[in-house]
Amino acid sequence: MVQKPYQRIAIAECGEPLVPIEVLGVVPVDPHPYAALGAPYGDRSPFWLRLGIVERLAIAAAALGEEAPGWSIQIFDAYRPLAVQRFMVEHAFGELAIAAGADPQLLAQRPDDPLTQQLRQQVAEFWATPSDDPATPPPHSTGAALDVTLLDGTGAAVEMGSPIDECSPRSYPDHFAGATDGVGRRAHGHRQRLARVMAAAGFVQHPNEWWHFSWGDQLWAWQTGAAIAHYGRR
């Protein structure tokens, strides 16, 4: 697998613990989508983050409350053990294979097949490699990255234009920037609101995913020009 640019950033682990996400104005999705699929969390929780990230999330939730009273941030996913990253990468590959009319198990056994390579590349655009090298951890495995969306004052998820984890250009943060239809314009406005309140807490957004934000990991360091990342794999 080709190394991504951010994976060349050095990590100086700060040692912060993983803690439960217990923040006013932040709601975990229920049931958790990956756990429902059978992802192997063991005794770990998808609703953990590093202490400093939880503190920043509280700032983002407060910023949302000021901009849109009654709205909240919904946590779709946060901490992701390496085993879960592997599980979900293969799950994403399998879904794309089925959509292409192919057998996922057969394709997985044919790494040189053009369709296999095409789908692996598509997955890699949105899913980090489940590397077990401490120098190149998947962002979610550091406890410094989280996937989020917005809930309105009634507790309903707002229109974002595409579901979380969709492996397509619709997931790019500015995909609907030029939309002329009502749905597209609303989706773009909601994405901008989400990005705005997360940025208020210092988070940076994944360039390909409207829902993914992080602080202190290698992707954050690469995007901000920081010399080192503060969080390694946990």
Please give the average per-residue pLDDT across 99-103, as a whole number: 96
| 90 labelled catalytic | no
Instruction: Report the pLDDT value the prediction gives residue 1, as an integer from 0 to 100.
Output: 54
For residue 85, how far is the Cα from the chain centroid?
11
- Reported as a single tens digit per residue, the pLDDT across 37-77 is 999 999 999 999 999 999 999 999 999 999 999 999 999 99
Q: Supply the mean pLDDT for the chain.
A: 96
Which pLDDT value is given to residue 2? 64
- The answer as to whether 147 is a domain residue is yes
182/190 Cα distance (integer angstroms): 12
> Could you tell me if 16 and 217 are in contact, meaning their C-beta atoms sit under 8 angstroms apart?
no
**pLDDT number for residue 166:** 97
Identify which has the larger pLDDT, 87 or 2.
87
At 10-21, the pLDDT tens digits run 999 999 999 999
Cα separation values, 138 from 35, 114, 225, Å: 18, 26, 19
Percentage of the chain lying above the pLDDT 90 cut:
98
For the chain, the distance separating the N- and C-terminal CA atoms, rounded to the nearest angstrom, is: 22
Does a structural domain hold residue 194? yes
pLDDT of residue 196: 98
Examine the pLDDT at 3 and tell me if it is beyond 90. no
The answer to whether position 216 is within a domain reads yes
Domain containing 162 — which CATH number?
A: 3.30.1380.10
Q: Would you say residue 52 lies in a domain?
A: yes
Number of domains in the chain: 1
Per-position b or e across 7-26, b if 16+ CB within 10 A of its CB: bebebeeeebebbebebebb
What DSSP designation does 6 have?
Answer: G
Peptide bond preceding 20 in cis form (omega within 30 of 0): no
Q: Which domain holds residue 51?
A: 5-229
| 133-162 confidence digits (pLDDT tens) | 999 999 999 999 999 999 999 999 999 999
Q: Which of 197, 131, 190 has its CA nearest to residue 164? A: 190
Residue 234 falls within a domain, yes or no? no
